[in-house]
Amino acid sequence: MEFIGKTHFDFMGKKKISFAVSIIISIIGIIGVVQIALGTANMGIDFSGGTAVQLKFAQPVSIDKAREALSKHGLKDANLQEITEGNKLLVKVGKTSLPQGNAADLIQGAFQKEVPGNQFVVESSTEIGPAIGDKLRKDTLIAVAISLICIVIYIAWRFDFTFGVGALAATLHDVLAMFAVFFLLNKEINLLFITAVLTIAGYSLTDTVVVFDRIRENLHKNTKDSLSVIFNHSINEVLSRTIITGLTTFLAAGSLYFFGGEVIHDFALALVVGIVVGIYSSVFVASPIVEVWGRRTKTSKA
Amino acid sequence: MPKGLTWRFGLILLFIFLSGLYLTPTFVSPLPSWWTGLLPKDRISLGLDLQGGTHLVMEVEIQKAVEGALDLIATDLEDSLTAKTLRFKKIGRTASDRVQLTFYDRGTADTVQKMIKEKYPTMELVPPYDEGGFVSMQLRMGEKEAQERKDRAVAQALETIRNRIDQFGVSEPVIAREGLTNIVVQLPGIKDPKRAIELIGRTARLEFKLVDEAINPATATPGTVPEDSEILIEKKTDSTTGAVTEIPLVVKKKAMITGDLLTDAQVRIDSQFNQPYVAIDFNATGARLFDQVTAANVGKRFAIVLDNTIYSAPVIRERISGGSAQISGSFTEKEAADLAIVLRAGSLPAPVKIIQNVTVGPSLGQDSINKGLIAGLVGIGLVIAFMTIYYKLSGLVANFGMVLNVVYLMGALAALGATLTLPGIAAIVLLIGMSVDANVLIFERIREEMRLGKPPKAALDAGYDKAFLTIMDSHVTTLITAAVLFQFGTGPVKGFAVSLSLGVIINLFTALVGTKAVFDFALSRLRVKRLSV
């Protein structure tokens, strides 16, 4: 079976459109990152510090009623999130609105008093001190930076510097796109999301490397044609692989999204988004950048 | 006949055998009796997010350890100067790193200076200086010694916490030091996390202090009590109503006896009131001190203070010389049992602050395992179906490689005694998708070569050869990110990185050796003339 035979799409010719799209996505992503830096984004308590308690009730509890119960006990600023299956409720209290005493106890006490007759169990409870959050945020930033640098060095060593920059741009683009989607959907930025981001950075790079490999191979074989022709030809040659691998990884990540349960729901969503963007970027971002840059250096040499 | 076919199949089978061997303890329970000796016994352990439990990070307030040591030195100096009838105005800790001594005349100061030099050779001494008609001098703890003390405080706290947890009874706890000041405690499957946290986090400094009867506690304020006294609160819980009453008491600051002189603490039940209490036994020094203090203070009240809260303040009716005493207060049997544990395990050298507490209930953990398994099976099913339809027989070979991958990965995780977390399961599921990637690369190459008119064998070899570098490059980049994740990640994320990096390495083997061997076998032995790809 074959989805696509020999194709002759003009990927390079579409670079004006694709660059425009990518720039818009990246700008939204940058806005999202700035929000995080300013502390106004929807940060998970693992980064911001605070308390999160997940409760499972015997009977459904409406968000409004839960909010009312909490505000009576001085937890007006609590962030409430309903988990659709099984009457579950996630209550988050940031460190700034933390009243005196143990917030987790306070939350449980509030529900015991205000919704009597509706039994609940504490499924999970997380308390993070602000110092840990700060350290984690710093460590994470370092981790992301180091892995990006290592990858560029590796690509630059295996190919050349132009390719390294192209790969870095594509990877950054994917990372920003994931931030953009999470920012637009107002999803929580937590440690699992960062893990997904780094995984996708690796995955998208794999895709980019495959395309680059073919381009390099064809550059050696074919010295007559213009860069644009060779690039187009190479991308078309590996297009089938790009799509098939994307599809199989997508199937796996998709099954995590649909069946993996609430804890990794957002994590799987980040992966799914990342896989889609990763495929797009290796075709429409990495290669055109190398091509544009390569042409410029060629003309300047001539 | 391709070279080394037997060798390659041998390797594949060997790894399958090893995986099976290492996975046996995980899946077979209990192990048969002959499973002994060098056979592996480690199983894949489940992370706290999967089996439920509590993960705590505690910060030892190390500065308090230094301050405590200086307080001790101050008390000790007071005692020895009094014993030698050397007159002083005041001795006490000032700031967080020094003890100040004030004398009436320079002569005494000089004598004491000599004495201190002998007694505390490691302390830095600021020579006597005149100050408002008195002579003062300061004793400072050096940077290096302070650092050592801090370090020792954390090590001691770790030991004490380990003792408490052992006595509390938690299976397979993890207690480890993290960085300079932090202690990480993991309590898998714990039923009553709140009680455990209270038990672990309590400083449990036990002190016996005399009540200052000269002052009326009802009217005393921190400003009006004498310098050597302080106001502490006695908490009394009414056993029937549960109401807590707080009674202030004025006690002498100086502790007559402290908890480090204990040898044992046990819960007993008072037969008269059916109330639990904690019976404590002192060591020889403690017993002698207790004897002296009770003999000298008959008729006065003796406050039993734990972490600056008074448990009870009974009147000393007679001299107690047996070296044992009891702590009674209004507590439940559980509270009494926990109190006995912390007294036996000893006090923490400095207070600890809980800075991270992640507790996962067992129901959520089980739910995560089930969902993860379903997601994994669905993922595997979908990928297998897709590959078979798209690449026909070759797809089956790729599927074989993928299943091999999962088996090897599980085996490797078991062999390393790794911990499986939810993100770890996610990594395995993700690998299912990524592991066929190498084969997709190869198959697409083979298709290209066949389109050029090459015979099956040549197309196969060219496909593998040309895809090799690409596969290497793509795996190395993934490995880089996995390594960084491992280095900087904590807990669940680390689990993800372990699964991912192992998977990538194993994938290289199954893609380049595993599936190739199957193809070579088919072409040479089964004399397949046409590649079904």
Q: What is the pLDDT of residue A269?
A: 93
Per-residue pLDDT of chain B (533 residues; tens, 9 = 90+): 456 788 889 999 999 999 999 888 888 777 788 887 778 877 788 888 888 889 899 999 998 888 888 888 888 888 888 888 888 888 888 888 888 888 898 888 888 888 888 888 888 888 888 888 888 888 888 888 889 889 999 999 999 999 889 888 887 888 999 888 899 999 988 888 888 888 888 888 889 999 988 888 888 787 788 878 889 988 877 767 767 788 889 998 888 888 888 888 899 888 887 888 899 999 998 899 899 999 999 889 999 998 888 888 888 888 888 888 888 877 788 888 888 888 888 888 888 988 888 888 888 888 888 888 898 899 889 999 999 999 888 899 999 999 999 999 999 998 888 888 878 887 887 788 777 888 888 988 898 888 888 888 888 899 899 888 888 888 888 888 888 878 776 666 777 888 888 988 999 899 888 888 888 888 887 777 777 77
What integer pLDDT is reported at residue A98 of this predicted model?
A: 52
Residues B470 and A238: beta-carbon distance below 8 Å: no
User: Would you state the pLDDT for residue A184?
Assistant: 92
Whether the per-residue pLDDT at A27 is higher than 90: the answer is yes
Lowest-pLDDT choice from A210-219, A255-264, B483-492: B483-492
Lookup result for tokens 């840990």: A132
Place of tokens 């690409």: B470
**How close B368 comes to chain A (CA, Å)?**
6
B423·A195 Cβ contact <8 A: yes
Window 144-163 of A: residues touching B by CB (8 A cutoff) are 146-147, 150-151, 154-155, 158
Please report the pLDDT score of residue A28 as a whole number. 94
| pLDDT attached to residue A241 | 86
For chains A and B, count residue pairs whose Cβ atoms are closer than 8 Å.
Answer: 212
Contacting residues of A for B471, CB less than 8 Å apart: none
The answer to whether the CB atoms of A199 and B490 lie below 8 A apart is no
- The whole-angstrom separation of Cα B297 and Cα B318 is 9
CB A245 within 8 A of CB A211: no
* pLDDT given at position A301: 41
How do beta strands B275-282 and B324-327 pair? Answer: antiparallel
- Contact state of B437 with A201 under an 8 Å Cβ cutoff: no
Q: What is the pTM of this model?
A: 0.76
The single-letter code of the amino acid at B8 is: R
Is the ipTM of this structure higher than 0.90? no
Q: Which residue has the higher pLDDT, A283 or B384?
A: B384
Q: Please check whether residue B191 touches A, CB under 8 A.
A: no
Mutate to test the interface with A, among B61, B369, B481 (most CBs of A within 10 A): B481
Give chain A's domains with CATH numbers. 12-42+132-301 (1.20.1640.10), 50-128 (3.30.70.100)
Range 27-86 of B in CB contact (< 8 A) with A = 49, 57, 59
**Closest chain B residue to A237, measured at CA:** B448
User: Which tokens belong to B112?
Assistant: 């004491």
Chain A hits for B428, Cβ within 8 Å:
none
Lowest average pLDDT, out of A20-29, A89-98, A121-130, B109-118, goes to A89-98
Give A93-121 pLDDT, tens digit per residue.
Answer: 876 555 545 778 888 888 888 887 788 88
Contacts of B466 in chain A (CB under 8 A): 217
Q: What percent of chain A has pLDDT over 90?
A: 12
User: How do B309-312 and B229-237 pair as beta strands?
Assistant: parallel
Number of H helices, E strands in chain B: 13, 19
User: pLDDT band at A181, cuts 50/70/90?
Assistant: very high
Backbone Cα Rg of chain A: 24
Contact B487 A143 (CB under 8 A): yes
Judging contacts by C-beta atoms under 8 Å, the chain B residues touching residue A237 are: 448
Question: CA dist A1 to A8, A89, B249, Å?
Answer: 19, 47, 88
- CA dist A111 and B20 (Å) reads 49
Instruction: List, in sequence order, the alpha helices (H) in B169-270.
Output: 193-201
| 8 Å CB contact of B430 and A256 | yes
Is B367 an interface residue toward A (CB < 8 Å)? Answer: yes
pLDDT at residue number A95: 65
Predicted pLDDT of residue A5: 66
Q: Minimal Cα–Cα distance from B150 to chain A, Å?
A: 19
A71 touches chain B (CB under 8 A): no
Which residues of A fall within a CB distance of 8 Å from B383? 248, 251-252
pLDDT average, residue stretch A206-223: 85
B470–A210: do the CB atoms touch at under 8 Å? yes
Burial letters for B478-515: b for 16+ Cβ neighbours within 10 Å, e otherwise?
A: bbbbbbbbbebbbbbbbbbbbbbbbbbebbbbbbbbbb
**Which among A199, A251, A255 has the least Cβ separation from residue B481?**
A199
Please enumerate, as own/partner, the contacts of B77-80 that have beta carbons within 8 Å and a separation of 24 or more: B77/B101, B77/B116, B80/B115, B80/B119
d(C-alpha B462, C-alpha B182), whole Å: 56
